[in-house]
Amino acid sequence: MKSVLNQIAISTFICIAALYCYNCWFQPEPIIIERAPKNNASFVDFLLDKQIEPHFRAAAPDNFIRAAEHSRPAVVYIRTLEEERSWRSEQERSAGSGAIISPDGFIVTNNHVVENGQELQVTLNDRRTLNAEVVGVDASTDIALVKIEADNLPFLVFGNSDSLTVGEWVLAVGNPFRLQSTVTAGIVSAKGRDIDILDMDYGIESFIQTDAAVNPGNSGGPLVNTKGEIVGISTAILTYSGRYEGYSFAIPSNLVRKVINDLREYGTVHRGLLGIEGSSVTSEQIEELKLDKVAGVLITLVFAESGAADAGLKKGDVITGVNNKKIGTMSDLLEQVGRYRPGDEIALTYARKGIIKNATVVLRNQLNTTDLVTVRRDKILTELGMEVRDLILSEKRKTDLEGVKIISIYKGSTISKTKMEPGYIVTRMNDKMIKNTEQFISELKKAKGRIFLEGYYEEHGGPWWYAFDN
């Protein structure tokens, strides 16, 4: 009996010793079940933190609910109407979208949405329809500002289009095919695109290209970022069928904001000019220009006594930066300079024979002064194809004549077909003296049929006559 107890004690001791040794030297590794990262957590956070909530996302964001909910109530449907004389009824001339940018009813849209109608109507997201008035338009950027009489409206704010990067998510909001408040998503495909649709002097094309679906009716609607801020205004599609085929284009919000501020404050856009002509640098030119990459704007002409001339710029210089922003193409340069008014100073970086230089340029207006001269771009003028202004005091003193000066003439327009040139000063219309722009526009609105203009050029004298049908 005693031997049996001894054997049991020895066996128990051996088992306890074995378990002790196993726990000390043969402890198995714990099994860790990793959880997916929280929303917006990075992959590094995922590796470092094993206690994150289980909800893995391949990319962020994976929905645009907040941006859509914020932007849709502030997007409107715009249509222009004209009277059918034969039936005494109204007919829709064009339609598009717009974005409310203030609680008291200011709306930004495209110029081509509102330019051809006698009456303007806006339908809000709550289905109310209100009459609207055009505050001002800018054909050179295809932007228009309209106003409705209403209060406490939902509105959108402008974001920073400069901060957009290729590959970033954006939403196009609008009314394609009259489908109210439609939201489509895509990415920024490119920036600074020039697609040659603004065929006029001083036209600015530096579009944001996106693959968000945009169709007829989206024109004038906002392109918004994932915060619901306006980063562009949809204006065109690249298509062979007349419908969406993969790419659409929007005017950058930073340019839109400047145009809208001018229209709201002055009724017209005051655009600062460098005083040069140029072109984007090509790969064939970089060796001759001693550049290390294909980027910049080659100056081909510097206008005498312009801001660029006063700053020391010369033909053959290559502009590479404006206010610390890199300039890759002519579109980039036009967009950046287009944000400033006459009298503003900008800092230029340029290359001359491979040497980087800096200059400060004071921008001028079309008259080569720093004055904020009001140029009239009323609908009746742009339909005929011209922009006009009152004579300044120095011009009146030269001849002691009143009149209005033709500043710009649109290519292919009624006025361009008369062979008139910019700089023409109108002194008479249908044998009636013209003293200022208000009278000139009033007489144009009243005139029917053939119109005869009499005037002169400062350089060539006069009189010169032109005729066209209104």
Catalytic positions, written as ranges: 112, 142, 219
Residue 325 tokens, joined: 């922003």
Residue 275 tokens, joined: 């005083």
Q: Which of 198, 201, 268, 273 is nearest to 236 (CA)?
A: 198
Torsion from C-alpha of 118, 123, 129, 132, nearest 10 degrees = -40
Q: Which of 339, 433, 426, 451 is nearest to 376 (CA)?
A: 426
Q: Which residues pair with 355 in a beta bridge?
A: 352
Give the single-character DSSP code of 228. S
CA 168 to chain centre: 17
Q: What's the CA gap between 147 and 127, in Å, rounded?
A: 17
359 burial type by CB count under 10 A (0-12 exposed, 13-18 middle, 19+ buried): middle
Q: From the CB of residue 454, how many other CB atoms can be counted at a distance below 10 Å?
A: 19
Task: Name the one residue in this structure whose structure tokens are 């801020």.
Answer: 229
For 295, residues 6+ apart whose C-beta sits below 8 A from its C-beta are 281, 320, 326, 327, 328, 329
Q: Letter for the amino acid at 61?
A: P
SS3 of residue 22 by DSSP: helix
Q: Which residues pair with 185 in a beta bridge?
A: 171
Q: What's the CA gap between 64 and 67, in Å, rounded?
A: 5
Q: Which of 269, 261, 279, 257 is nearest to 333 (CA)?
A: 279
Q: What's the CA gap between 56 and 354, in Å, rounded?
A: 51
Q: What Rg, from alpha-carbon coordinates, does the chain have? A: 32
Q: Which of 396, 403, 398 is nearest to 440 (CA)?
A: 403
Q: From the CB of residue 467, how many other CB atoms can be counted at a distance below 10 Å?
A: 10
